[in-house]
A = this chain, B = another copy of it.
């Protein structure tokens, strides 16, 4: 005899009552409920998830899809781990669990997601590394499964998302540099199809326009999303005939390679060229001269992400006002020395 049946037998009551007691239903005597709870603790009973899911039509977990090969995700894993922590925290408050679904590099992400969705091992999904045109979004819409994207997609029409404030960062970066006299500001951005580069570049263009500076497409440099991309970026910049006097970066790791590339050419960030990075990361803190960049709380971002997801799950309508979230997450300037160079 196993499971709830064992518990019921031990207490000499029916399994229905046990279930009701455990699930906090009102139609059970408080005295019996106490006995059930005690016995459950004593016998170490935990409901079988498959049984529950089958009957209820819902697992109590939400998935967070990542791409495990993720140079492409454009982030190092401590980024995601921080976010997981926040998401797990808010989900835990509602007896939901977070399971991370790592799509391997061997598999097509959309096919992987399709499998996860149809197998119904999660009730809702968070996707990340959103592409400009991302098939996963149509797929999730069609499956009518609640989801939110960490990162906007490009063209597919509106979908729920929470994203870093790329426009804000681009804006403030350009403002800061223009205030120091810069007019030729290069952009180093990942060359993959992840949408964030495009969002950033749009913000960059808008900022230039506000300052009456004409946009020069040659200043937009797309490179690999890795530290090597940053190295390449340094070479590209130094090779230009009208060399830019400032660079802004869309991806945290680029700073690493950029510094090295510039150093090798005897060009010092902050003295000979102004550099503003993107997200503050562990490595950015240790660059010298200190990189001007933007920071955020990963955990808080995760919490917001979790809450936004719950806001799209009908089952949590009483707790979270339902609605489609499309929101930008603010980032805070961390001034350094890398943009000290003034014209």
Partner among B49, B69, B71, B98 whose Cβ is within 8 Å of the Cβ of A119: B49
Is A78 touching B81 in the complex (CB atoms < 8 A)? no
Interface size class for chain A? 35 or more
Distance of A253 Cα from B76 Cα, bound (Å): 11
- Report whether over half of chain A's contact residues are helix, strand or loop; otherwise say mixed: mixed
Asked if A50 and B54 make an inter-chain contact with CB atoms under 8 angstroms apart, the answer reads yes
List 16 A-B pairs, Cβ < 8 Å.
Answer: A46-B119, A48-B120, A49-B53, A61-B121, A68-B81, A71-B78, A74-B78, A74-B282, A76-B77, A80-B81, A85-B104, A88-B106, A98-B102, A99-B121, A256-B286, A259-B286
Segment 89-137 of A: residues with Cβ below 8 Å from B: 89, 92, 97-107, 115-116, 118-121
A286 touches which one: B82, B88, B257 (CB < 8 A)?
B257
Residues of B within 8 A of A104 (CB): 84-85, 88-89, 92
List residues 31-79 of chain A with CB under 8 A from any CB of chain B.
44, 46-51, 53-54, 59, 61, 66, 68-71, 73-79
**Among candidates B44, B75, B106, residue contacting A77 with C-beta atoms closer than 8 Å:** B75
Report B-chain residues with C-beta under 8 Å of the C-beta of A115. 46, 97
Q: Closest B-chain residue to A91, C-beta based?
A: B104
**Is the Cβ of A118 less than 8 Å from the Cβ of B68?**
no
A92 x B106 contact (CB < 8 A) = yes
A59, B69: Cα distance in complex, Å: 25
Q: In this complex, what residue of B is CB-closest to A56? A: B50
**Residues of chain B within 8 A of A50, CB atoms compared:** 50, 53-54, 59, 120
Closest to A80 in B: B77
